Amino acid sequence: MFHPDFQPKPYWWERYTPTAVDLTDLPGHVRVAIVGGGYGGLSTALELNKNGMDCVVLEAAEPGYGASTRSGGGVSGGVNIGKSFSGKTLDPASDRARGVLTDGSDAFALIERLIQEEGIDCYWKKNGRFVGAWTPKHFEAQSRKIALLNDAAASGAYMVPRERLREEMASDYYYGGMVVERSASLHPALYYKGLLDACLRRGIPVCAKAGVKTIRQAGSGWELATTRGTVQADQVVIATNGYTGDVTPELKRRVVPLASHIIATEELPPDLAASLIPKNRTLADTRRVLTYYRMSPDGKRVIFGGRARFTPVTPQQSAPILHRFMTDRFPQLKGVRVTHAWTGNVAFTLDALPHMGKQDGMHYLLGCNGSGVAMMTYLGWQTARKIAGVTNRVSAFDTDDFPTHPLYNGNPWFLPAIGAWYRFRDDLDRAMARV
């Protein structure tokens, strides 16, 4: 199943490879130092700059090396308010759930506006999303969410029964599912490059290979020691998401890094490619061990992602697993070869919600829960506006309640057990649905 030209790197990097753009000296003092150069960090920097505040982005690797150039490129207009690892669920009827959905909807509007304003050429397409129901019970649960999604987030959501599944995909794999019209897709690395160019055009230093080693209070501000020297700042923003490390141990205890894996296929015969996802939506499903997939922006390949394993594996190991998941859904793709496979970290939180706020005097925006293209852009924008003092509304994601657990120190030792349990439950639910 491996193509002779197989590469263990993101397909997206064919168009933008994370590169060390700025290796000049770090600024001595800035008003805001931002740790982490993904969508969250760059969006914070851009909005601070627009509000007249100087800042620096400190990135441990090359800009874009983290999740932001590795994603599936699906852009959802809301957030998943499902069950978290701890089993805690946000009551869908609560004011909090409504606020979260409304802000999720704002996140979608923001990314669309930003792409337009900055002229970012990233194959932005508003074709909607289809979420396949793994079982009839999941279909019922999806149906119950429709009213709230449409009311609080103007999602344009509706159900598609099993007998009409082929309007969404060339397969009979699911028990129907839910369409969310207000969703989009983009080329994640080109969107990233667009944000980076917007920062560089404004003279914002985005410093590559400047991993922050320590952050300490110095007078009324902060001193950040990096692998390339020291920066003084009045305020600090942590935007390290699934790569959050020991520099901020209290935040590390609040996010669970989980690897997500993706493959890209070789170019398909045009008729086959056009038939698979006729409305060119992004697809996902309601399994606990999620899969998500779409056509490439040029419509020629399948990009197929999911949690291939809950233990560390190489792209060479994850690719055959994802290939099997793909051909389970589309048997007509048996024999199609894989040209690229890659992995990246997403950050889960114990309440399954994204968070922004302040911890130990530092601002943070963390916890995309696998859906962060619009959301981390939005949380960066919100954080910058909060720092600049130009917002008159507190975001629903800005609360003091960022949960952790006494048994969790930032090392996700429990993931293999949770993964095994999720797989077992998925298989059991499906088997029960068949009897």
Ligand X SMILES: Cc1cc2nc3c(=O)[nH]c(=O)nc-3n(C[C@H](O)[C@H](O)[C@H](O)COP(=O)(O)OP(=O)(O)OC[C@H]3O[C@@H](n4cnc5c(N)ncnc54)[C@H](O)[C@@H]3O)c2cc1C
Residues in contact with ligand X by the rule CB under 6 A: 35-41, 58-61, 65-68, 70-75, 211-212, 239-243, 245, 247, 260, 262, 292, 305, 344-346, 368, 370-373, 376
Shortest separation between residue 212's beta carbon and ligand X, angstroms:
4
CA distances from 242 to 134, 238, 376, 397 (A): 27, 12, 12, 18
Shortest separation between residue 271's beta carbon and ligand X, angstroms:
26
CA distances from 415 to 86, 217, 312, 319, 411 (A): 12, 35, 10, 20, 10
Shortest separation between residue 207's beta carbon and ligand X, angstroms:
9
Shortest separation between residue 278's beta carbon and ligand X, angstroms:
20
> Which tokens in the block code for residue 220?
């009324």
Residue whose beta carbon is closest to ligand X: 372
**Residue recorded with tokens 């048997």:** 331
CA 362, distance to chain mean position in Å, is 23
Nearer to ligand X, 160 or 290 (CB): 290
What does DSSP say about strands 291-295 and 282-285: parallel, antiparallel, or unpaired? antiparallel
Nearer to ligand X, 73 or 128 (CB): 73
Distance (Å, whole) CA 387 – CA 390 = 8
Nearer to ligand X, 6 or 304 (CB): 304
- DSSP state letter for 269: P
Residue 231, strand partner residues: 224
Nearer to ligand X, 136 or 156 (CB): 156
Nearer to ligand X, 135 or 308 (CB): 308
Neighbours of 203 (CB within 10 A): 8
Nearer to ligand X, 174 or 243 (CB): 243
Shortest separation between residue 88's beta carbon and ligand X, angstroms:
21
Shortest separation between residue 166's beta carbon and ligand X, angstroms:
24
Distance (Å, whole) CA 359 – CA 395 = 16
Amino acid identity of residue 92, one-letter, is P
308: Cβ–Cβ under 8 A, 6 or more apart, which residues?
A: 261, 317, 318, 321, 322, 325
Nearer to ligand X, 10 or 135 (CB): 10
Beta strands in 198-254, from DSSP E residues, in sequence order: 206-207, 212-218, 221-226, 229-238
CA distances from 240 to 136, 348, 350, 351, 390 (A): 38, 13, 17, 19, 24
Q: How many residues are listed for the chain in this entry? A: 435
Shortest separation between residue 236's beta carbon and ligand X, angstroms:
11
Nearer to ligand X, 135 or 264 (CB): 264
Nearer to ligand X, 73 or 176 (CB): 73
CA angle 62, 68, 73 (to 5 degrees): 145
- DSSP state letter for 162: G
Shortest separation between residue 324's beta carbon and ligand X, angstroms:
18
Shortest separation between residue 75's beta carbon and ligand X, angstroms:
6
HSE (side-chain half, CA atoms, 13 Å) at 153: 31
Distance (Å, whole) CA 418 – CA 405 = 16
Distance (Å, whole) CA 371 – CA 203 = 29
Neighbours of 404 (CB within 10 A): 16
Nearer to ligand X, 67 or 302 (CB): 67
CB 32 within 8 A of CB 388: no
Shortest separation between residue 117's beta carbon and ligand X, angstroms:
19
Nearer to ligand X, 58 or 170 (CB): 58
Long-range contacts made by residues 160-164, C-beta under 8 angstroms, separation at least 24? 160/130
Shortest separation between residue 69's beta carbon and ligand X, angstroms:
8
